[in-house]
A and B are shown apart, each in its own frame.
Chain A
Amino acid sequence: MNIFYHIGRYTQMLGQMFSRPEKFSVYWSRLMDEIVQLGIKSIGIVVLMSAFMGMVIVIQTATAIDSPLIPAYTVGFTTKQSILLEFSPTIISLILAGKVGSNIASELGSMRVTEQIDALEIMGVNSRNFLITPKILGAVIIFPLVIVFSMAFAFIGGWFACVSTDLVTVDKYLYGIEIFHDNDFMYLSYALSKTAVFAFIMTSISSYQGYYVKGGSLEVGKASTRAVVYSSVLILLFNYLITQLVLI
């Protein structure tokens, strides 16, 4: 019963979000702010994690492939496939769910308990439309771009691992990455599309958790935790569903 109540209220929230904005110019500037806050300001951590991820994938793949029958460029090829299909879109999205999800839930939760949301409503502003829509749209627009950055820096990380160890030569690694697979474009669009879906999930779930907080700062903290946990679980679930739907 409880879950149906939440699904109903979540759906209602999404429905009320997409109404005509009171003033387009204000919403446009809110959207730009959210793109910067959620996306651009996450690039630092994404770049750092992706680079290290790339290094580790190269070392693990190179040490795992022990057979002389398997060519060395396989390390580059495997790294590309792993990063493109799973590591960048899914793992980075999970990391962003932690960073962005808790940020959104605590921001909206604090606004709720300090009556700032009530103040917006009394002024006649559709608070869901004003506060939540720019966050969701901003994330859906910017996160695929952030993931492209992640992919690029993971490849650079892999290159660094090749340079700093003698497990595989840089030429072989780059050759492995450059091998064109018929499905590469499809894989890229699959990765970016699922990132957009994950962006929607993490921002809408976190907004829901923050927007409907009742009580004080303790509840805001709990809402932030719930936002991260539910977003992560749903990202994993949808990752499986989308993968099964697209790749099989």
Chain B
Amino acid sequence: MIEVKNIDKSFGDVQILHDVSFNFEEGKTNLIIGQSGSGKSVLTKCIVGLHEPDNGQILYHGRNLPTMKKREKKEIRKEIGMLFQGGALFDSLTVEENVMFPLTMFTKMSKKEMKARAKFCLDRVDILDKNKLYPAEISGGMQKRVAIARAIVMKPKYLFCDEPNSGLDPKTSILIDSLISELTEEYKMTTVVITHDMNSVLEIGDNIMFIYKGRNHWTGDKNSILTTDNKEVTDFVYCSKFMKMYREKIV
């Protein structure tokens, strides 16, 4: 479980996050949703430690990240897997080497053991046959799957996914969403997904935080988001023609 308490973050004179608090629950897919520029990515970067918050606490099972010593932070980071928007795979390494990279850096496993673990993870995301290719030689959807395999290779306690569906077709998006959801349950991880894709919200949104102008504006789940009367949330949810039609039907 990750508890975020009263987070503020500014860049220069511009305050991006205002007193944000939320509990990201273990074994569930937690979603941070909101419009572009609302502060989702900044909040996530604060949670994973890429940005230092100005105020507030980020508790990983009670351990406060901002006040941790360098060594403790390093240990926490070994428990984190992250899927970046563009995959962030290392161009110079093959698919298999990318997945093996965290093992090479942080474990004393033999090469054979590392290969077996990488093979298992690649098989789990159904991309084992591409293990010898370089990231530039595979499609965007495949890169996302490889990035998921790399993120879970160390059996993380926490998984962060930054817009996992961006640039993917609807079918592949659903596959990626399902994969994230299945892995969350399988590994009992605390998964945090940043998205503004309503399909993802309705597919995997166990626990949702809606950020508006840098504030935690609404919390709920995939069922309550459809029936809330919060104006900003309904504007966000029902902005597409399809969702408007759906709303008219249920009303």
Count A-B pairs with CB separation below 8 Å. 49
User: Is B225 in the interface zone, CB < 8 Å from A?
Assistant: no
A interface residues with partner B (beta carbon < 8 Å): 22-23, 26, 110, 114-116, 118-119, 121-125
Look across to chain A and name the residue whose beta carbon is closest to the beta carbon of B154: A123
The main secondary structure of chain B at its interface with chain A is: mixed
State A247–B188 Cα separation when bound (angstroms).
68
State whether B90 touches A115 (Cβ < 8 A).
no
Contact of B84 with A115 in the complex, beta carbons under 8 Å: yes
Given contacts A26-B104, A125-B105, contact A114 B88 (CB under 8 A): yes
Q: Give the number of residues in B that approach A within 8 Å (Cβ atoms).
A: 23
Are B77 and A122 in contact, CB atoms less than 8 angstroms apart?
Answer: yes
Out of B75, B86, B102, name the residue touching A123 (CB < 8 Å): B102
Q: Mark B7-48, 1 if CB is under 8 A from A, else 0.
A: 000000000000000000000000000000000000000001
Contacts of B80 in A (CB 8 A): 122
Q: Which of B46-68 contact A (CB under 8 A)?
A: 48-50
- What is the bound-complex CA distance between A240 and B78, given in angstroms? 48
B106:A124 contact, CB within 8 angstroms = yes
Between-chain CB contacts (< 8 Å), 29 pairs: A22-B106, A23-B105, A23-B106, A26-B104, A114-B86, A114-B91, A115-B84, A115-B85, A115-B88, A116-B89, A116-B90, A116-B91, A118-B50, A118-B84, A118-B88, A121-B77, A122-B49, A122-B50, A122-B80, A122-B160, A123-B78, A123-B106, A124-B73, A124-B74, A124-B75, A124-B77, A124-B78, A124-B105, A124-B106
Cα distance A114–B86 in the bound complex, in angstroms: 7
Q: What's the nearest-Cβ distance from chain B to residue A20, in Å?
A: 11
B82 within 8 A of A: yes
Query: For residues 209 through 236 of chain B, which have their beta carbon under 8 Å from a beta carbon of chain A?
Result: none
Complex CA–CA separation, A57 to B168 (angstroms): 60
Q: A110 to nearest B CB, angstroms?
A: 8
CB-CB under 8 A from B50, the residues of chain A are 118, 121-122
Instruction: Please name all residues of chain A whose beta carbon is closer than 8 Å to the beta carbon of B91 when the two chains form the complex.
Output: 110, 114, 116
Are B105 and A119 in contact, with the CB atoms below 8 A?
A: no
Interchain CB contact under 8 A, B88 and A116 = yes
Give the docked Cα–Cα distance between A90 and B58 (Å): 52
A123 proximity list for chain B (CB < 8 A): 77-78, 101-102, 105-106
